[in-house]
Chain A
Amino acid sequence: MIQENVWISTNSLDFAQSMTLLLRFQIQSYIQRTMYSHGTSGEQSNYYSRSRGLRVLLVDDDEINRMVTKKMLEKLGCEVTAVSTGFECLSAFSHAENSFRVVVLDLHMPEIYGFEVATRIRKFRSCNWPLIIALTASTEDNVQKRCVQIGMNAVLQKPVLLQAMAAELQRILHRAKPL
Protein backbone atom coordinates (compact mmCIF):
# COMPACT_ATOMS: atom_id res chain seq x y z
CA MET A 1 0.00 0.00 0.00
CA ILE A 2 1.22 3.46 -0.79
CA GLN A 3 0.48 6.41 1.43
CA GLU A 4 -1.36 9.39 0.05
CA ASN A 5 1.11 12.16 0.70
CA VAL A 6 3.07 11.80 -2.50
CA TRP A 7 5.13 14.86 -3.31
CA ILE A 8 4.52 15.96 -6.85
CA SER A 9 6.81 18.43 -8.56
CA THR A 10 5.44 21.75 -9.81
CA ASN A 11 5.41 20.59 -13.44
CA SER A 12 2.76 18.08 -14.31
CA LEU A 13 3.85 14.46 -14.34
CA ASP A 14 4.18 13.06 -17.79
CA PHE A 15 3.83 9.37 -18.51
CA ALA A 16 7.52 8.54 -18.27
CA GLN A 17 7.82 10.19 -14.89
CA SER A 18 4.74 8.45 -13.51
CA MET A 19 6.02 5.12 -14.79
CA THR A 20 9.31 5.74 -13.03
CA LEU A 21 7.58 6.55 -9.77
CA LEU A 22 5.41 3.46 -10.10
CA LEU A 23 8.38 1.18 -10.71
CA ARG A 24 10.20 2.83 -7.84
CA PHE A 25 7.30 2.16 -5.50
CA GLN A 26 7.10 -1.43 -6.65
CA ILE A 27 10.79 -2.01 -6.08
CA GLN A 28 10.64 -0.35 -2.67
CA SER A 29 7.66 -2.36 -1.48
CA TYR A 30 9.14 -5.58 -2.81
CA ILE A 31 12.33 -5.01 -0.87
CA GLN A 32 11.14 -3.53 2.37
CA ARG A 33 7.49 -4.52 2.52
CA THR A 34 6.87 -1.32 4.35
CA MET A 35 4.79 1.74 3.69
CA TYR A 36 6.53 4.14 1.37
CA SER A 37 5.97 7.85 1.65
CA HIS A 38 7.45 10.87 0.00
CA GLY A 39 7.62 13.66 2.47
CA THR A 40 9.87 16.59 3.23
CA SER A 41 13.60 16.04 2.87
CA GLY A 42 13.76 15.48 6.62
CA GLU A 43 11.32 12.63 6.42
CA GLN A 44 13.07 11.20 3.40
CA SER A 45 16.46 11.07 5.07
CA ASN A 46 14.90 9.45 8.14
CA TYR A 47 13.33 6.91 5.85
CA TYR A 48 16.63 6.06 4.21
CA SER A 49 18.50 5.74 7.48
CA ARG A 50 15.76 3.80 9.24
CA SER A 51 15.10 1.22 6.58
CA ARG A 52 17.41 -1.07 4.72
CA GLY A 53 17.35 -0.45 1.00
CA LEU A 54 18.57 -2.80 -1.66
CA ARG A 55 22.32 -3.10 -1.22
CA VAL A 56 24.05 -2.43 -4.49
CA LEU A 57 27.72 -2.45 -5.40
CA LEU A 58 28.47 -0.15 -8.33
CA VAL A 59 31.67 -0.71 -10.26
CA ASP A 60 32.68 1.91 -12.82
CA ASP A 61 36.06 3.50 -13.41
CA ASP A 62 34.67 6.74 -14.81
CA GLU A 63 33.93 9.32 -12.14
CA ILE A 64 31.12 11.05 -14.00
CA ASN A 65 29.34 7.83 -14.95
CA ARG A 66 29.74 6.57 -11.41
CA MET A 67 28.20 9.75 -10.00
CA VAL A 68 25.22 9.63 -12.35
CA THR A 69 24.55 5.90 -11.98
CA LYS A 70 24.90 6.10 -8.19
CA LYS A 71 22.36 8.91 -8.02
CA MET A 72 20.05 6.96 -10.27
CA LEU A 73 20.21 3.88 -8.06
CA GLU A 74 19.74 5.98 -4.92
CA LYS A 75 16.72 7.60 -6.54
CA LEU A 76 15.32 4.08 -6.86
CA GLY A 77 15.85 3.55 -3.13
CA CYS A 78 19.06 1.55 -3.25
CA GLU A 79 21.88 1.76 -0.77
CA VAL A 80 24.88 2.13 -3.05
CA THR A 81 28.56 1.46 -2.50
CA ALA A 82 30.54 2.74 -5.45
CA VAL A 83 34.03 1.54 -6.36
CA SER A 84 36.20 2.44 -9.28
CA THR A 85 38.19 -0.69 -10.00
CA GLY A 86 37.60 -4.39 -10.48
CA PHE A 87 40.04 -5.09 -7.67
CA GLU A 88 38.09 -2.93 -5.21
CA CYS A 89 34.98 -4.75 -6.30
CA LEU A 90 36.43 -8.17 -5.55
CA SER A 91 37.84 -7.09 -2.20
CA ALA A 92 34.41 -5.70 -1.26
CA PHE A 93 33.12 -9.26 -1.64
CA SER A 94 35.82 -10.75 0.51
CA HIS A 95 34.42 -8.89 3.52
CA ALA A 96 31.82 -11.18 5.01
CA GLU A 97 29.70 -8.40 6.45
CA ASN A 98 29.04 -7.00 2.98
CA SER A 99 25.94 -8.56 1.56
CA PHE A 100 25.37 -6.98 -1.80
CA ARG A 101 22.26 -8.19 -3.45
CA VAL A 102 23.07 -6.59 -6.79
CA VAL A 103 26.28 -5.65 -8.58
CA VAL A 104 26.09 -3.03 -11.32
CA LEU A 105 29.21 -3.51 -13.37
CA ASP A 106 30.69 -1.46 -16.17
CA LEU A 107 32.14 -3.89 -18.69
CA HIS A 108 34.88 -1.65 -19.96
CA MET A 109 37.46 -0.98 -17.29
CA PRO A 110 41.19 -0.61 -17.90
CA GLU A 111 43.11 -2.86 -15.56
CA ILE A 112 40.67 -5.71 -15.22
CA TYR A 113 37.82 -6.17 -17.61
CA GLY A 114 34.24 -6.41 -16.43
CA PHE A 115 33.89 -9.97 -17.75
CA GLU A 116 36.84 -11.06 -15.65
CA VAL A 117 35.33 -9.43 -12.56
CA ALA A 118 31.96 -11.06 -13.12
CA THR A 119 33.55 -14.48 -13.63
CA ARG A 120 35.44 -14.13 -10.38
CA ILE A 121 32.33 -13.00 -8.50
CA ARG A 122 30.53 -16.10 -9.73
CA LYS A 123 33.42 -18.27 -8.53
CA PHE A 124 33.55 -16.57 -5.13
CA ARG A 125 30.06 -17.40 -4.04
CA SER A 126 28.59 -20.80 -4.56
CA CYS A 127 25.17 -19.75 -3.33
CA ASN A 128 23.33 -16.47 -2.79
CA TRP A 129 25.03 -15.13 -5.85
CA PRO A 130 24.65 -11.41 -6.17
CA LEU A 131 22.56 -10.47 -9.18
CA ILE A 132 24.78 -8.83 -11.79
CA ILE A 133 23.74 -6.04 -14.12
CA ALA A 134 26.28 -5.27 -16.81
CA LEU A 135 26.61 -1.79 -18.31
CA THR A 136 28.05 -1.53 -21.77
CA ALA A 137 28.38 1.06 -24.51
CA SER A 138 28.72 -1.73 -27.05
CA THR A 139 25.83 -2.75 -29.28
CA GLU A 140 27.45 -6.00 -30.39
CA ASP A 141 25.53 -9.25 -30.03
CA ASN A 142 28.48 -11.20 -28.74
CA VAL A 143 28.62 -8.96 -25.66
CA GLN A 144 25.11 -10.06 -24.70
CA LYS A 145 26.01 -13.71 -25.38
CA ARG A 146 29.12 -13.53 -23.28
CA CYS A 147 27.18 -11.96 -20.41
CA VAL A 148 24.72 -14.85 -20.49
CA GLN A 149 27.56 -17.41 -20.53
CA ILE A 150 29.19 -15.85 -17.48
CA GLY A 151 25.89 -15.84 -15.63
CA MET A 152 25.01 -12.17 -15.56
CA ASN A 153 21.40 -11.34 -14.98
CA ALA A 154 20.93 -8.26 -17.16
CA VAL A 155 22.72 -6.11 -19.70
CA LEU A 156 22.00 -2.40 -20.03
CA GLN A 157 23.15 -0.12 -22.80
CA LYS A 158 24.91 3.07 -21.86
CA PRO A 159 23.89 5.82 -21.38
CA VAL A 160 21.45 4.31 -18.93
CA LEU A 161 18.06 5.85 -18.39
CA LEU A 162 16.32 5.76 -15.04
CA GLN A 163 13.30 3.85 -16.41
CA ALA A 164 15.54 1.22 -17.98
CA MET A 165 17.45 0.68 -14.73
CA ALA A 166 14.21 0.56 -12.74
CA ALA A 167 12.68 -1.97 -15.12
CA GLU A 168 15.75 -4.24 -15.12
CA LEU A 169 16.07 -4.16 -11.33
CA GLN A 170 12.44 -5.09 -10.95
CA ARG A 171 12.72 -7.86 -13.54
CA ILE A 172 15.79 -9.52 -12.04
CA LEU A 173 14.60 -9.21 -8.45
CA HIS A 174 11.38 -10.84 -9.46
CA ARG A 175 13.08 -13.70 -11.30
CA ALA A 176 16.18 -13.98 -9.07
CA LYS A 177 18.02 -16.45 -11.24
CA PRO A 178 20.67 -16.09 -13.99
CA LEU A 179 19.65 -15.38 -17.62
Chain B
Amino acid sequence: MDLVQLQRQLVDYKTSLYNEGFLDEQFTQLQELQDENNPDFVVEVVSLFFEDSERLLNELTKALEQQSVDFKRVDAHVHQLKGSSSSIGAQRVQKVCIAFRNYCEEQNIEGCVKCLQQVRHEYSLVKTKLESMFQLQQQILSAGGSIPM
Protein backbone atom coordinates (compact mmCIF):
# COMPACT_ATOMS: atom_id res chain seq x y z
CA MET B 1 0.00 0.00 0.00
CA ASP B 2 1.46 3.36 -0.89
CA LEU B 3 1.89 6.32 1.44
CA VAL B 4 -1.14 8.27 0.29
CA GLN B 5 -3.35 5.21 0.70
CA LEU B 6 -1.98 4.63 4.20
CA GLN B 7 -2.63 8.22 5.17
CA ARG B 8 -6.13 7.99 3.77
CA GLN B 9 -6.71 4.80 5.71
CA LEU B 10 -5.58 6.49 8.92
CA VAL B 11 -7.89 9.45 8.46
CA ASP B 12 -10.83 7.15 7.75
CA TYR B 13 -10.00 4.97 10.72
CA LYS B 14 -9.74 7.91 13.09
CA THR B 15 -13.00 9.36 11.81
CA SER B 16 -14.77 6.06 12.43
CA LEU B 17 -13.44 5.94 16.00
CA TYR B 18 -14.95 9.35 16.68
CA ASN B 19 -18.20 8.50 14.90
CA GLU B 20 -18.61 5.27 16.84
CA GLY B 21 -18.03 7.08 20.11
CA PHE B 22 -14.79 5.35 21.00
CA LEU B 23 -12.97 8.66 21.12
CA ASP B 24 -14.13 12.17 21.88
CA GLU B 25 -12.68 15.69 21.64
CA GLN B 26 -10.45 15.05 24.61
CA PHE B 27 -8.37 12.75 22.43
CA THR B 28 -8.04 15.55 19.89
CA GLN B 29 -6.87 17.70 22.77
CA LEU B 30 -4.10 15.20 23.51
CA GLN B 31 -2.92 15.35 19.92
CA GLU B 32 -2.88 19.13 20.09
CA LEU B 33 -0.67 18.98 23.16
CA GLN B 34 1.91 16.90 21.32
CA ASP B 35 4.74 18.92 19.81
CA GLU B 36 8.39 18.62 18.84
CA ASN B 37 9.40 18.88 22.52
CA ASN B 38 7.26 15.83 23.28
CA PRO B 39 6.83 13.97 19.99
CA ASP B 40 5.55 10.81 21.68
CA PHE B 41 3.21 12.47 24.13
CA VAL B 42 0.02 10.79 22.91
CA VAL B 43 1.53 7.31 22.89
CA GLU B 44 3.01 7.91 26.35
CA VAL B 45 -0.23 9.05 27.89
CA VAL B 46 -2.24 6.29 26.25
CA SER B 47 0.28 3.64 27.36
CA LEU B 48 -0.01 4.95 30.89
CA PHE B 49 -3.76 4.72 30.58
CA PHE B 50 -3.50 1.07 29.49
CA GLU B 51 -1.27 0.19 32.45
CA ASP B 52 -3.40 2.04 34.91
CA SER B 53 -6.67 0.62 33.58
CA GLU B 54 -5.45 -2.93 33.72
CA ARG B 55 -4.42 -2.44 37.32
CA LEU B 56 -7.79 -0.91 38.18
CA LEU B 57 -9.73 -3.67 36.41
CA ASN B 58 -7.83 -6.29 38.40
CA GLU B 59 -8.49 -4.44 41.63
CA LEU B 60 -12.16 -4.20 40.75
CA THR B 61 -12.39 -7.90 40.03
CA LYS B 62 -10.80 -8.71 43.38
CA ALA B 63 -12.96 -6.24 45.26
CA LEU B 64 -16.16 -7.63 43.79
CA GLU B 65 -15.15 -11.21 44.59
CA GLN B 66 -14.99 -10.48 48.32
CA GLN B 67 -17.52 -12.07 50.67
CA SER B 68 -18.47 -8.66 51.90
CA VAL B 69 -17.97 -6.12 49.15
CA ASP B 70 -16.47 -2.78 50.10
CA PHE B 71 -18.49 -0.51 47.81
CA LYS B 72 -16.55 2.56 48.80
CA ARG B 73 -13.38 0.93 47.59
CA VAL B 74 -15.02 -0.23 44.38
CA ASP B 75 -16.36 3.26 43.81
CA ALA B 76 -12.93 4.80 44.38
CA HIS B 77 -11.43 2.56 41.69
CA VAL B 78 -14.26 3.29 39.25
CA HIS B 79 -13.91 7.00 39.93
CA GLN B 80 -10.24 6.77 39.00
CA LEU B 81 -10.99 4.85 35.84
CA LYS B 82 -13.69 7.33 34.92
CA GLY B 83 -11.27 10.20 35.41
CA SER B 84 -8.45 8.76 33.38
CA SER B 85 -10.66 7.51 30.53
CA SER B 86 -12.22 10.96 30.40
CA SER B 87 -8.78 12.59 30.27
CA ILE B 88 -7.74 10.67 27.21
CA GLY B 89 -11.11 10.78 25.49
CA ALA B 90 -12.07 7.11 25.83
CA GLN B 91 -15.73 8.02 25.81
CA ARG B 92 -17.38 4.61 25.88
CA VAL B 93 -15.27 3.46 28.83
CA GLN B 94 -16.14 6.67 30.65
CA LYS B 95 -19.87 6.15 30.05
CA VAL B 96 -19.87 2.67 31.54
CA CYS B 97 -18.01 4.04 34.56
CA ILE B 98 -20.81 6.51 35.17
CA ALA B 99 -23.38 3.70 35.28
CA PHE B 100 -20.98 1.65 37.39
CA ARG B 101 -20.74 4.40 40.01
CA ASN B 102 -24.53 4.54 40.27
CA TYR B 103 -24.64 0.82 41.07
CA CYS B 104 -21.94 1.34 43.69
CA GLU B 105 -24.03 4.02 45.31
CA GLU B 106 -27.02 1.66 45.35
CA GLN B 107 -24.74 -1.10 46.66
CA ASN B 108 -26.09 -3.28 43.87
CA ILE B 109 -23.71 -6.21 43.46
CA GLU B 110 -25.28 -7.62 40.31
CA GLY B 111 -25.27 -4.23 38.65
CA CYS B 112 -21.63 -3.77 39.57
CA VAL B 113 -20.60 -7.15 38.24
CA LYS B 114 -22.44 -6.47 35.00
CA CYS B 115 -20.76 -3.10 34.66
CA LEU B 116 -17.37 -4.60 35.30
CA GLN B 117 -17.91 -6.97 32.40
CA GLN B 118 -19.03 -4.10 30.23
CA VAL B 119 -16.14 -1.86 31.16
CA ARG B 120 -13.65 -4.67 30.50
CA HIS B 121 -15.23 -5.15 27.11
CA GLU B 122 -15.18 -1.46 26.21
CA TYR B 123 -11.65 -1.10 27.48
CA SER B 124 -10.35 -4.00 25.38
CA LEU B 125 -12.13 -2.60 22.32
CA VAL B 126 -10.62 0.87 22.64
CA LYS B 127 -7.22 -0.60 23.43
CA THR B 128 -7.25 -2.71 20.26
CA LYS B 129 -8.41 0.22 18.18
CA LEU B 130 -5.84 2.64 19.55
CA GLU B 131 -3.07 0.11 19.06
CA SER B 132 -4.16 -0.40 15.44
CA MET B 133 -4.16 3.34 14.97
CA PHE B 134 -0.66 3.71 16.40
CA GLN B 135 0.55 0.90 14.17
CA LEU B 136 -0.84 2.67 11.12
CA GLN B 137 0.85 5.88 12.23
CA GLN B 138 4.14 4.06 12.65
CA GLN B 139 3.82 2.55 9.15
CA ILE B 140 3.30 6.01 7.73
CA LEU B 141 6.26 7.46 9.60
CA SER B 142 8.48 4.57 8.52
CA ALA B 143 7.47 5.17 4.92
CA GLY B 144 8.74 8.73 5.35
CA GLY B 145 5.32 10.32 5.53
CA SER B 146 3.75 12.63 8.08
CA ILE B 147 0.69 11.98 10.18
CA PRO B 148 -2.44 13.69 8.85
CA MET B 149 -4.35 15.28 11.74
- Interface on A for B, CB 8 Å cutoff? 9-11, 17, 20, 40-41, 44-45, 62-65, 67-68, 71-72, 75, 108, 110, 137, 158-159, 161-162
Contact = CB atoms under 8 A, between A and B. Distances in A.
A75 B35 contact: yes
Contacts of A41: 36-37
B9 interface: no
Interface of B, helix, strand, loop or mixed by DSSP:
helix
A71 B26 contact: no
B86 A68 contact: no
B13 interface: no
Contacts of B79: 108
Contacts of B49: 64
A11 B25 CA distance: 17
Contacts, number: 63
B52 interface: yes
A60 to B, nearest CB: 9
Contact of A159 (B35, B45, B87, B148): B87
Nearest to B88: A64
B87 A72 contact: no
Contacts of A72: 33
B17 to A, nearest CB: 17
A137 B83 contact: yes
B148 A11 contact: yes
A11 B149 contact: yes
Contact of A44 (B32, B37, B89): B37
Contacts of A11: 148-149
30 contacts: A10-B146, A11-B148, A17-B32, A40-B36, A41-B36, A44-B37, A62-B80, A62-B83, A63-B48, A63-B52, A64-B45, A64-B49, A64-B52, A64-B83, A64-B84, A64-B87, A65-B83, A65-B84, A65-B87, A67-B48, A68-B33, A72-B33, A75-B35, A137-B83, A158-B83, A158-B87, A159-B29, A161-B25, A162-B29, A162-B33
Nearest to A20: B32
B142 interface: no
Given A68-B45, A108-B79, A159 B86 contact: yes
Contacts of A64: 45, 48-49, 52, 83-84, 87-88
B18 interface: no
B143 interface: no
Nearest to B83: A62
Interface in B72-94: 76, 79-80, 82-84, 86-89
Contacts of A161: 25-26, 29
